[in-house]
Amino acid sequence: MKIRRRSSLATLALALLCPNLLRADDDAPLNINLQFKTLGGKQFWTDIRVQGGWRIQQNHYTNHCRILDERNVRQSWGSLNQCRQRFNRWVEDGTIRPYRRKIIILLHGVIRTRNSLAPLADYLSDRQVAEVISWSYASTRQTISQHADKFAELLSHFPKEAEIYLVGHSMGNVVVRHFLKNQKDDRIKRMVMLAPPNQGSALGRAVDDNVLFESIWGVSGQELASGFKELESRLETPKFEFGIIAGELKHNFVRNPLLDGPGDLVVSVEETKLAGARDFRKVDSTHTRIMNQRQTLQYVHSFLKYGYFESETTRKPLR
């Protein structure tokens, strides 16, 4: 018993302290799994595949992968190839349920995690006959181009007959637009953009040289700031139906002097606009809370289902 316990503790220490012993291209069998509850993947993990609440995640620093179940308990770890094989076996034996035909993907913004979109995910799950996937990605650790590539890999696992709907918050929308510049996916039907920096971020440009800003927002945050002119040429306007919800603080004594005109303290209303939007609305909210506002929840549900926020006759398209 003591030997077994020592062996387990040694394995756990090895897994926690030296995960880089197992790289993404290493299929060595040194990956005995100890089941334990994780935080679900924060800034250092990106979802490679998500199905039935289970997910394959890849670590930004070590490239090793792990499989989490619906409760965020680690069920396996190893190389990407090993995790793919195990994931496929669990799909085949029914441990992981198949995809639904309708799939709604939620994309969080920079610095945030999928937990920030949990209320929206719950709201949509209760009202839409769909599989709602909140996608995790290491938002501050990689470029927007790299995020777009990982997003493409996520979509590659969905059935050909799937109908895909998207909801992005902040930078999540820019990731989608970068993806669309290089790839076309006719399965995507509609999208709602929440507080998108479609024209970049004046706030980011103003503090771009600040060391604190660079350390917190990371490389992708800097792309939205001083690097947006270069980034903009690599962004596509969606060809499918999309609507935009901007935040506008109406009854608040706090104002951001770095923004031109009304906004949500991070992005101005004008910066969210993108010609071609089928509908446009403003809600009274800050940037970080816009996805949790009841009006936002109702608008998102309506647009995904009908293609408008309130009604067909009251649409406010952007031209």
CATH number for the domain including 117?
Answer: 3.40.50.1820
pLDDT for 82 equals: 96
Whether 2 is in a domain gets the answer no
- Which pLDDT score, from 0 to 100, does residue 149 have? 97
Are 168 and 30 part of one and the same domain? no
Among the candidates 41, 73, 92, a domain finishes at 92
Task: Return the pLDDT at 205.
Answer: 56
- Grouping H, G, I as helix, E, B as strand and the rest as coil, residue 65 is strand
| 171 and 256 inside one domain | yes
Any domain includes 12: no
Q: Lay out the sheet containing 131-135: strands in order across.
A: 131-135, 102-107, 163-169, 188-194, 241-247, 279-283
Instruction: Retrieve residue 203's tokens.
Output: 């706030």
pTM to 2 decimals? Answer: 0.88
- Whether residues 87 and 109 fall in one domain: no
Q: What's the pLDDT at 26?
A: 55
Cα–Cα distance for residue pair 45/162, rounded to 1 Å: 26
Question: For residue 179, is it within any domain?
Answer: yes
DSSP string, 117-144: GHHHHHHHHHHSSSEEEEE---TTTS-H
* Dihedral of alpha carbons 72, 76, 81, 86, sign: negative
Residue ranges in the chain whose pLDDT is less than 50? 1-15, 17-25
Provide the residue range defining the domain that includes 155: 102-306
Regarding whether 274 and 184 lie in a shared domain, the answer is yes
Q: Are residues 145 and 247 in the same domain?
A: yes
Q: Render pLDDT for 11-45 as a digit per residue (tens, 0 to 9).
A: 444 445 444 444 444 565 557 889 999 999 988 99
- State which of 39, 60, 92 marks the end of a domain: 92
**6 assigned to some structural domain:** no
Instruction: Give the pLDDT of residue 24.
Output: 45
- Give the model's pLDDT for residue 251: 73
Whether 65 is covered by a domain: the verdict is: yes
Contact yes or no for 236/180 (Cβ under 8 A)? yes
Whole-angstrom CA distances from 96 to 55, 86, 118 are 10, 11, 21
What DSSP character marks residue 26?
A: -
For residues 157 and 286, membership in a common domain is answered with yes
* Domain boundary, last residue among 54, 69, 92: 92
**Is there a single domain that holds both residue 263 and residue 296?**
yes
* Tally of domains within the chain: 2
Half-sphere exposure of 157 (CA within 13 A, CB side): 20
Co-location of 192 and 131 in the same domain? yes
Instruction: Say whether both 68 and 109 belong to one domain.
Output: no
In a domain, 244, yes or no: yes
Q: Is 298 exposed, middle or buried (0-12, 13-18, 19+ CB in 10 A)?
A: middle
Residue 124 and residue 258 share a domain:
yes
Q: Same domain, yes or no, for 46 and 118? A: no
